Structure 1
Amino acid sequence: CCGPGLFAVPLAGRGYEVTGVDLSPSMLESARTACDAAGAAVRLERADMLTYREPGAFDVILNVFTSFGYFDEAEDNLQVLRNAHESLAPGGQLLVDVMGKEVLAGWIGRPKAVDLPDGSYVVQRDTVLDSWRRLRTDWTLVRGTTARTASITSWLYSAAELHALFESAGFTDVECFGGFDASGYDQRSDRLIVRGRRK
């Protein structure tokens, strides 16, 4: 998903033709503001990745910052990959960036707190669900004597599971990496990055 344009803006600035897709109007507005500020020409589309397809339209599709795996049904997450596969031109590539199960196992369970400039703070708690199939993340904003919590649940994937999901969606030449530098994926990796190609 496009989000606030963190990848779309610099890619457009390097001369690539970029389309940013997101369901959130506020994220698209942030992306539009960032594009305008940078003078970046990016086509922004409001759409749901569960149904969005542009057959053969793209050479590369990026799904970064753990934007994959948020649908309740496992089949829906597979459909997202199928939609991406259909939207790629022959030879095109999909890159998905998530936090792999293997990495999460090393630090899950430790709450994380971030102090904010106004004296409030945010506490993040992660809880493994369904025998390591899903993760619920709770963010609690504490401001004075009040606290508000927002939660989100996502599917967890190991490298082998996401590799198999890519293949089920029709991708070939599937590879797993531990970073954007194409380093190998192992227990020291910060991210799980999977790349697949449409024949």
Structure 2
Amino acid sequence: MDWYEDDDLWVGFADVMFPPRRVAEAEHLVATSPLLKVAAGDRVLDLACGPGTHVVPLARRGAVVTGVDLSEAMLARARDACERAGTTARLVRADMRDHVEPGGYDLVVNMYTSFGYFVEPGENLAVLRNAHASLVPGGRLLVDVMGKEVFAGWVGRPQAVDVEGGGTVFMRDTVLDDWTRLRSDWTYVRGDEVRRTSTYCVLYSAAELRALFREAGFAEVECFGDFDGSPYDNHARRLIVRGTRG
């Protein structure tokens, strides 16, 4: 079983990956970001939607939202989040390497470094091709990752993060395979309880991810350094790539 197929990981580290502050941040971004702007009736696919962090605010703004995730545990949390918020969304358990709905969406989003999970490069390309096929002409795909250039500025420094509700997570990142992949080792300590896990992802530079979007068929590809639409330069906080289907 690959790491991303393990529901125990997603449930056991949910407080770390999806703290309440992230929900508030998603609400703010959907309300203010020019990259996430939607109109009432827009069809939006949240690919690797997790516990519905962006599904809910997108639906609140009138979008017709589908959330896709491989983890049934995360989809259950997304259903609960929608119910609590009084919003509706279609939630589907599927593998993003396979999920495609031709011409079904105006916008596809993939948030919080949920892209690049797969060791085989062709599988990550397949995710982009599926998203391209699922968009209407003029539709947009938005992928949010930690760009290699940004990551290089702080990789290697151990981090300790206090978790809301108690406990501390100790994190260490290791660059693998000539700066092409990343392993993140997490140790969650709460009282006498200790949990450990490791996750892996492909590291992309802006040029590499732009080229992959082009290979997937996107006619126009743009890179941004944050959700305010700022340029991807030495001040960038994230690497956000937007591809438009021709």
Q: Does 1:168 align with 2:215?
A: yes
Structure 1 position 119, deviation (Å): 5.7
Q: Which residue of 1 aligns with 2:146?
A: 99
Partner of residue 181 from structure 2, selected from 134, 140, 148: 134
Q: Which residue of 2 aligns with 1:121?
A: 168
Q: Which residue of 2 aligns with 1:82?
A: 129
Partner of residue 48 from structure 1, selected from 59, 75, 95: 95
Q: Which residue of 1 aligns with 2:36?
A: none
In the alignment, the residues of structure 2 paired with residue 168 and residue 27 of structure 1 have an alpha-carbon distance, to the nearest angstrom, of 31
- C-alpha distance 108-57 of structure 1, shift in aligned 2 (>3 A): same
Determine which structure has the larger helix proportion and give its number: 2
- C-alpha distance 144-163 of structure 1, shift in aligned 2 (>3 A): same
Structure 1 position 142, deviation (Å): 2.5
Aligned length: 199
In the alignment, the residues of structure 2 paired with residue 42 and residue 118 of structure 1 have an alpha-carbon distance, to the nearest angstrom, of 28
Percent identity between the two aligned chains: 63
Unaligned runs of 5+ in 1: none
Bigger mean CA deviation after superposition, 26-35 or 139-148: 139-148
Deviations 1:100-119 (A, max 9, x none): 00000000001110234676
Partner of residue 224 from structure 2, selected from 173, 177, 188: 177
User: Structure 1 stretches (4+) deviating beyond 6 angstroms?
Assistant: none
Partner of residue 107 from structure 2, selected from 37, 60, 67: 60
Q: Which residue of 1 aligns with 2:8?
A: none
Determine which structure has the larger strand proportion and give its number: 1
Partner of residue 9 from structure 1, selected from 35, 48, 56: 56
Structure 1 position 149, deviation (Å): 1.4
Task: Write the letter of the residue equivalent to 1:76.
Answer: E
Unaligned runs of 5+ in 2: 1-47
Q: Which residue of 1 aligns with 2:86?
A: 39
Deviations 1:132-187 (A, max 9, x none): 00000010122446633100110000000000000000001100000111100012
3-state SS, counterpart of residue 142 of structure 1: strand
In the alignment, the residues of structure 1 paired with residue 103 and residue 236 of structure 2 have an alpha-carbon distance, to the nearest angstrom, of 33
3-state SS, counterpart of residue 240 of structure 2: strand
CA RMSD between the two structures: 1.3
Q: Which residue of 2 aligns with 1:154?
A: 201
